[in-house]
Structure 1
């Protein structure tokens, strides 16, 4: 076996583990391999990994011979991946005067979410008279991450957020789009600030979807500045010189021919997360496999960039990697009401944030779903609860300044529509006994659980899980409704170890020269769990990292 195809030790991949200079040099001219030598398609296969029982990212494939390259293209900045962070980076670099090429493996750009981006400050927030305490919100972020994220990287997010969001708002307005700031949650324990900027409208928006509009907006602007976007052109191998500097990448077009892109100013990995690669999930985010559904419909997030970084000498952040989960894989309303698992038992404090509900259902509930159960008074109870709580699937994506009744009306439509259109997820019956027969629960345990819960509601104290007393709404008056609460995976927002300037770092915290990572393939800004006190901060992270790195590679970035 050649030196290039020998295994890279697991220890050398993790931040804090030693990797000698000789080992770095031995990595040579390597990257993401063609199919016959360990492609993304192979990585999808699962935990089998590479040779000798090693993981795919630990086994460095052979380099593509120079005589197999059919075409060479010279650019300055090469961005690999056409999602939020990649398209933003391409635009910012092109605006700064760099020659930019973005390669995307699919025939289209890929966006996720509902077009919303979180920011700690912006001119739209100023118009509404909204401001936040950065110190408090950053501390909440860091605490949610178990104090394992790199605080200097998080602080950069907070410093750059307003500038980058205002730049984005300028682009949106130029293209006929408008911004609506939506409400967060008033929970004393898990507050979510009113900072979610929903961008919609204009010609580009009408041509696309809420999920990918932002990416096509960035592409349109980038092309006006001379950037080139190339579709169906997956990167299959990074190019490194004898010193280990990344100088470009070899891609493969839809005809199977190899095209080498030379990028002396930098290669940017913006390839997304590892949601659809079980090998990565087993090793770094096993809880992600407990969800009912993986919600990223394109299924292309298989760790391409993670593999490339590892094969080029980069390290990964320590595990477990944080997951972004929302309880929206079945019903999209559940509120603060009583939850029961398939065993018919209540198992958690239901008045918590979306990530907490997902983890609670899977870990404490022991299943990939539970049922939110409420009685005929649910609309009145929901209206009352919103003064103390809220957040996604409890409140609604309503505009800041609207009253709570807007959320109640919205969820009424959701529940009534669900009963008619998706009856597997929404159930209603005149009696609790009849409702239990409709659910996949143990009937006797269910009835006991409801009886016990109602007694605690009467007494005004939840001695089982200590849910705040103002959320103790009894389940007594029919008809009774149950909505399935099912965790869905939006992304695994951890991975490649990076510097505060988004350089890919090795296990000794030294840059792999010429290589950068942004967006969900990059790590360190989150750890252990995903913070949602700043709603939409993951899209905000893509905006900030993309813009700042693009400016940096173009030589126009000014540190705040």
Structure 2
């Protein structure tokens, strides 16, 4: 691997405190001229005459210090980029992968979703693809491109089985975790957590084991080179508009990579670019924390695609959010905002809890209130609901009681270790007194009202299902701070079903492709979690299929 020293994402961190959100995150130097704001995102507008950065194409860079030829150039060493590079390289294609950081970057908690696999077969799990795709499309408001989603559903099993074989060859194991049993927001048991392989690195966590595995296997092919600390800043086009390469900035000057078979943008989302968020995903500005700690996803690929003539999917772009920016547990229990008011049906999915807190609650956080029976109550609730951080990342075959015991231990630990997010007291008055920001009188009246609803067995305020109505009566009492956090903005560059970047008339920009979270059209309006881990599943499918396509060996499995 080449290492051209430059500005690392790590060096750009500004001391942001993530607290427990770091667990959820286990998964500005570049092409944009916009400056960096105090929060780590770029400013609202840049360029000439108030135009957006992506609307102002920079002058071509001409002072090239070095020119390198390859067949495929992949920009971005995340999940999709490393997967694409491996699949092209192992099929005989010369690949160079450039990364602007000094390490690969994987986001999320390390799981990959698939609608079928041999691991699911071994557990006797079979998903109804017709139902799951309909839920996906419905969650996206019917505005995702169904042909692209359909391709993912067709290819998911083949690609996941390939990954399982690859991981097993490295000595890794796969654990499939449990989803939600909700009748309204069900989650299939299809989250494949792969870890424990021989491929190791000091910088590696469960979140990016997959990236390191792909890189290690790509290096074995002899067709692959990885260059760190080399942010791509500009694409190279010929007179016809075909993309023929890209220019990266290094400490030794600009390096131009010429790619005869194609350039792949795999640069991640726009989580740390306020200019994009303001324009395409303004709700993301309401979160308590942006969860991906490297802060490197600033829309580099989006800019370069637009400058080359590409366009974006329609806004607003969907966000992937989890309510883990403060405490890690919430369950189906009472939520109150800092005014002391209840504001939503709390027994919903992770995205709904985030949006409800910010929009209906009116704040970037709220407090989950429950009593001494919460462990037993949570276990009872998992018969009917659950999902991430209400249930837990537990293996298929374990019990709801296992999940609740784990959460109970984490809550007690939180009371000791992070008292700013976890409160415990013998009486309600003492509990509310610990939450200094809250209107205690209003909160006490809210709790009394909630207990009345629980006693009546019907929530006539927000119509939460009766099996999720657990009163707050017996001490000790607990409060956990619930903070929405942004994982990713899963919208972006308009692409074809073959991952070609498209212009405003749906014509491909020849030689240019986009995959992973910098690409659009797979999602719209909201992020579907009925197929858990489908963002990583998308990276797997898009990376593998495009790598094969660029190597000339891809065969569409469409019947």
TM-score, scaled to structure 2:
0.92
Other-structure match for 1:477? 474
Deviation at residue 315 of structure 1 after TM alignment:
0.5
Instruction: Identify which of 69, 91, 96 aligns with 2:64.
Output: 69
Q: Distance in 2 between matches of 1:73 and 1:127?
A: 47
Q: Any idea what the Cα deviations from partners look like across 1:42-72, whole Å, max 9, x if unmatched?
A: 995311321100000001110012xx11111
- SS of 1:203's partner is coil
Q: Distance in 1 between matches of 2:132 and 2:30?
A: 44
Other-structure match for 2:443? 446
Other-structure match for 2:24? none
Contact 1:269 1:305 in 2 (8 A): yes
Deviation at residue 224 of structure 1 after TM alignment:
0.8
Deviation at residue 537 of structure 1 after TM alignment:
0.2
- SS of 1:427's partner is strand
2:140 matches 1:145: yes
Q: Distance in 2 between matches of 1:224 and 1:40?
A: 40
Contact 2:270 2:276 in 1 (8 A): yes
Other-structure match for 1:353? 349
Deviation at residue 286 of structure 1 after TM alignment:
0.5
Other-structure match for 2:104? 109
2:124 matches 1:126: no
Q: Distance in 1 between matches of 2:197 and 2:86?
A: 19
Other-structure match for 1:252? 249
Q: Distance in 2 between matches of 1:143 and 1:287?
A: 20
Q: Distance in 1 between matches of 2:307 and 2:87?
A: 28
Deviation at residue 39 of structure 1 after TM alignment:
6.5
Other-structure match for 1:99? 94
The gaps in structure 1 that reach 5 residues or longer are: 1-31
Contact 2:34 2:43 in 1 (8 A): no
Other-structure match for 1:155? 150
CA root-mean-square deviation: 1.5
Deviation at residue 33 of structure 1 after TM alignment:
11
Q: Distance in 1 between matches of 2:502 and 2:197?
A: 40
Q: 1:205 to 1:144 in 2, by over 3 A?
A: farther
2:349 matches 1:344: no
2:495 matches 1:466: no
The gaps in structure 2 that reach 5 residues or longer are: 1-27
Other-structure match for 2:420? 424
Q: Distance in 1 between matches of 2:101 and 2:388?
A: 31
Other-structure match for 1:7? none
Q: Distance in 2 between matches of 1:472 and 1:558?
A: 52
Q: Distance in 2 between matches of 1:517 and 1:320?
A: 19
Q: Distance in 2 between matches of 1:173 and 1:427?
A: 43
Contact 1:40 1:302 in 2 (8 A): no
Instruction: Identify which of 224, 227, 236 aligns with 1:227.
Output: 224
Deviation at residue 96 of structure 1 after TM alignment:
1.3
Map 1:479-558; keep pairs closer than 5 Å: 479-558=476-555
Contact 1:33 1:62 in 2 (8 A): no
- SS of 2:256's partner is strand
TM-score, scaled to structure 1:
0.92
Q: Distance in 1 between matches of 2:549 and 2:34?
A: 31
Q: Distance in 2 between matches of 1:412 and 1:279?
A: 41
Deviation at residue 252 of structure 1 after TM alignment:
1.2
Contact 2:493 2:501 in 1 (8 A): yes
Q: 1:233 to 1:206 in 2, by over 3 A?
A: closer
Other-structure match for 1:279? 275
Other-structure match for 2:376? 380
2:217 matches 1:214: no
Q: Distance in 1 between matches of 2:347 and 2:30?
A: 49
Q: Distance in 2 between matches of 1:456 and 1:88?
A: 52
Q: Distance in 1 between matches of 2:192 and 2:458?
A: 38
Q: Distance in 1 between matches of 2:87 and 2:46?
A: 37
Q: Distance in 1 between matches of 2:243 and 2:35?
A: 20
